[in-house]
């Protein structure tokens, strides 16, 4: 994959992680965000993560420097106009994503694939605002991106077999495992994970057990690395609520109704680990 160019849109937890794994796998990466402050934050997340890998002797210092040198940060989308693949990882808002896809379609070379890291939104709908719906696909990475093996690959109604094969091969080149799913709300990962998290929140809301007890049951009883409430904090409670709303609206089934306690936490700004308070408090 030497000399291949990728553009990553968004420098949040996911965008930074995606840029890191692409650069580590020898892609030249253009990392885009709206302002330089966001870009600096994104780059420093990548630096911190790579430095930890050096300390643990997983990579050499020179490899870290080479990886960082492959990442070019920019606030101009046109710096990625010759990218072979674009991966969008911005806020989970369909209208905002559609605007970005429209712009990308005009700017990026016509052979390029436009992928979205959306956790639940319709790939078909994103593809429909472009003139290349056959080249639009979902590439759903898991958090933390450098650690988690899965990439859920979502084929929209118009995504071509050629695009899917290309994304499968790119995913494998990153040392990840692609799993193909169809384009329905929440795909497979969040259709299963989020109702479980929502049910854990209901158990807390109904006073069935303490938060610690609920997490212990799932950690010790089911061998989950994190309890569901801890995981919700890690993912972000606003993201969890958003995904439940997409499932609820998309399927029109009340089994996906978000727990009132989840709504209350989000309204109160208890968004989880990123703001240092959610179900738990963080230093």
User: Annotated active-site positions, please?
Assistant: 119, 140, 152, 190
31 binding ligand 3HC? (CB under 6 A)? no
Q: Among 47, 49, 43, which Cα is nearest to 15's?
A: 43
Q: Of 92-151, which residues contact ligand 3HC (CB under 6 A)?
A: 119, 142-144, 146-148
Angle, nearest 10°, between helix axes 189-205 and 211-222? 140
From 54, 59, 68, 226, residue interacting with ligand 3HC (rule: CB under 6 A): 226
Q: Which stretch binds ligand 3HC (CB under 6 A): 29-37, 163-171, 187-195, 248-256?
A: 187-195
Closest separation between CB of residue 25 and ligand 3HC, Å? 15
Q: Which is nearer to ligand 3HC, 168 or 219 (CB)?
A: 219
Angle, nearest 10°, between helix axes 237-251 and 260-267? 130
Strands 71-74 and 28-32: parallel
Helix, strand, or coil (residue 152): strand
Q: Which stretch binds ligand 3HC (CB under 6 A): 165-173, 207-215, 224-232, 261-269?
A: 224-232
How would you label 59-70 residue by residue, b for 16+ Cβ within 10 Å and e otherwise?
beeeebeebeeb
231 binding ligand 3HC? (CB under 6 A)? yes
Report whether 85 contacts 170 (CB < 8 A): yes
Closest separation between CB of residue 272 and ligand 3HC, Å? 11
Q: By the criterion CB under 6 A, which residues form the site for ligand 3HC?
A: 49, 52, 56, 119, 142-144, 146-148, 189-190, 193, 225-226, 231, 235, 239
């Amino acid at each position: 994959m030497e000399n291949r160019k990728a553009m990553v849109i968004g420098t949040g937890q996911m965008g930074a992680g995606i840029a890191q794994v692409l650069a580590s796998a020898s892609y030249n990466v253009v990392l885009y965000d709206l302002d330089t402050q966001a870009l600096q934050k994104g780059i420093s997340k990548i630096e911190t993560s790579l430095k930890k890998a050096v300390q643990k002797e997983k990579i050499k210092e020179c490899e870290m420097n080479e990886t960082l040198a492959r990442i070019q940060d920019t606030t101009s989308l046109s710096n990625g106009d010759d990218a072979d693949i674009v991966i969008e990882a911005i806020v989970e808002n369909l209208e905002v994503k559609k605007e970005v896809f429209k712009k990308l379609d005009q700017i990026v070379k016509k052979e390029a694939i436009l992928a979205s890291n959306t956790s639940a939104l319709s790939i078909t709908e994103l593809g429909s605002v472009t003139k290349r719906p056959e080249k639009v696909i979902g590439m759903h990475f898991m958090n933390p991106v450098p650690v988690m093996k899965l990439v859920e690959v979502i084929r929209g109604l118009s995504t071509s077999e050629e695009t899917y094969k290309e994304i499968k091969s790119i995913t494998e080149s990153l040392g990840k495992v692609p799993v193909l799913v169809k384009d329905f709300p929440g795909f497979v990962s969040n259709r299963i994970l989020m109702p479980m998290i929502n049910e854990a929140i209901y158990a807390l809301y109904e006073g069935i057990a303490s938060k610690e007890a609920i997490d212990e049951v799932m950690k010790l009883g089911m061998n989950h690395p994190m309890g569901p409430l801890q995981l919700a904090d890690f993912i972000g409670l606003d993201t969890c609520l958003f995904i439940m709303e997409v499932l609820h609206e998309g399927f029109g089934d009340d089994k996906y109704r978000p727990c009132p306690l989840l709504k209350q936490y989000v309204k109160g700004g208890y968004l989880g680990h990123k703001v240092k308070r959610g179900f738990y408090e963080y230093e």
